[in-house]
Chain A
């Protein structure tokens, strides 16, 4: 199947804490796994991706971890800020000639001061 799901619909954290957003996927044929952020009134915005042959990738304040054994993806945000409040989507891109992006249902991150 192509389902990409999320464990928690809402995550509330305090400013300065580290946030971890989790995602389960079912399509082992995916080449890439990606995280997007959607702020209120805007379209989703690319954050970071990881290729299926990697376990970890770091960006600016974000780290994505991929565990292919249990088909689990996570996004870690360091020192969470109020501006990080948004809905986060994990997505996967299938390999081969199709390469469409399939998104999960989203997790809302609420950051309180």
Chain B
């Protein structure tokens, strides 16, 4: 069974640009969550999608958005990139909301210059 796949693995963007990250969950998993990981802040919850609907949202500005498709694949978008957006973005899938076991991808390392 394939794990959670995130693309691309690495990205370098210029301040002010926008970026789209992709996540393919484990087959059969309906929940996809996104996290931002930085050395100083740990794992910060961005948002979670279930059945194409955003079910939970963290405390991030509106520049961060996401969506989920009918096949459960998810994308997140960051517009007007800032230097502080440099981080590892992790996607996690769960079979359903309420499962404690989330399966994480390897992440996308975003560097904003």
Residues of A within 8 Å of B92, CB to CB, are 43-44, 101
Is B45 part of the binding interface, using a Cβ–Cβ cutoff of 8 Å? yes
Q: Which residues of B contact A (CB under 8 A)?
A: 4, 33, 35, 41-43, 45, 48, 55-56, 90, 92, 97-98, 100-107
Q: How many residues of chain A are within 8 Å of chain B by beta carbon?
A: 21
Is A99 part of the binding interface, using a Cβ–Cβ cutoff of 8 Å? yes
By the criterion CB–CB under 8 Å, are A104 and B42 in contact? yes
By the criterion CB–CB under 8 Å, are B42 and A43 in contact? no
CA separation between A97 and B97, bound complex, in Å? 8
By the criterion CB–CB under 8 Å, are A98 and B105 in contact? no
Residues of B within 8 Å of A43, CB to CB, are 4, 90, 92, 104-107
B95 to chain A, nearest CB (A): 12
CA separation between A99 and B56, bound complex, in Å? 8
By the criterion CB–CB under 8 Å, are B41 and A49 in contact? no
By the criterion CB–CB under 8 Å, are A42 and B106 in contact? yes
CA separation between A104 and B97, bound complex, in Å? 20
By the criterion CB–CB under 8 Å, are A103 and B45 in contact? yes
Partner of B35, one of A32, A34, A98, A103: A103
Residues of B within 8 Å of A100, CB to CB, are 33, 45, 48, 55-56
Most buried by B among A41, A42, A43: A43
By the criterion CB–CB under 8 Å, are B56 and A106 in contact? no
By the criterion CB–CB under 8 Å, are B48 and A44 in contact? no
A47 to chain B, nearest CB (A): 10
By the criterion CB–CB under 8 Å, are B102 and A101 in contact? yes
Contact A32 B43, CB 8 Å, known A42-B106, A43-B4, A43-B92: no
A66-113 residues with Cβ-Cβ distance < 8 A to B are: 89, 93, 97-106
B29 to chain A, nearest CB (A): 13
Residues of B within 8 Å of A97, CB to CB, are 55, 97
